[in-house]
Amino acid sequence: MQVKTFVVNHYEVNSYLYFDSELKEGILIDPGFYYEDEKNKLIEFIFENKLNIKYIINTHGHIDHIIGNNFVKNFLKAPVYLNKNDWFLRDNILDYSEVFGFQTNTIPHIDYDLIPNDKFLIGENEIITIHTPGHSPGSICLINHKDRFIFSGDLIFRNSIGRTDLPGGNYDLIINSIRNILFNNCGNEYLIFPGHGEKTSVLYEKENNQFLI
């Protein structure tokens, strides 16, 4: 499995295309595509690599991670998933989009609830979801235990953690989610691909993240 990272919109969200280059199938994570040049880069990459995207997954419901849902849904024709605990963030998006610098008059499309322990298959690769609330009530992580990869959304960043001051955020819950849910599921060698910034690992964060020491 390969990871292609697109850094999108003015919040510099990492939208990850996680794909099998032999099978030409993949998953698109957190499509925050907003500006035209960002959308064009995705279109070019998909066409050049002849990829079939089977699933579109939102790690959580914040606007910077879901603003491109309608664009990718129309283009890729794949189902979109978001945990139901975060649908309120999507439902109210037109009330606060401008505050976050987004011009929009449409509500991002979602097809299905993203349930904990959901499994997404790309060939032999199984990607499993775990529920890791705190940054938002419906935050999830995606894990491939075979490749030892974690897509963490805004749960944890290199040397930092997700903010907890937005609606539904909770500091104690996010610390619990990292220490007792993520780290219990994933050993030191797992790589972490966060929703913003550069990639990291479970070991690096255990040793260096001031929020967890």
Task: Give the C-alpha separation, 186 to 137, whole Å.
Answer: 21
Provide the mask over 49-78, with x wherever binding to Zn ion is found by CB under 5 A and - wherever it is not.
-------------x----------------
Q: Are 136 and 60 in contact (CB under 8 A)?
A: yes
Between 101 and 123, whose beta carbon lies closer to Zn ion?
Answer: 101
Strands 140-144, 125-131: pairing is antiparallel
- Of all residues in this chain, which one has the CB nearest to Zn ion in the complex? 62
Task: Give the C-alpha separation, 134 to 119, whole Å.
Answer: 22
User: For 147, left (φ over 0), alpha (ψ -120 to 50), or beta?
Assistant: alpha
Q: What letter represents residue 62's amino acid? A: H
Provide the mask over 16-55, with x wherever binding to Zn ion is found by CB under 5 A and - wherever it is not.
----------------------------------------
Site for Zn ion in 146-185 (CB under 5 A): 154
Between 143 and 174, whose beta carbon lies closer to Zn ion?
Answer: 174
What minimum distance in Å lies between the beta carbon of 188 and Zn ion? Answer: 26
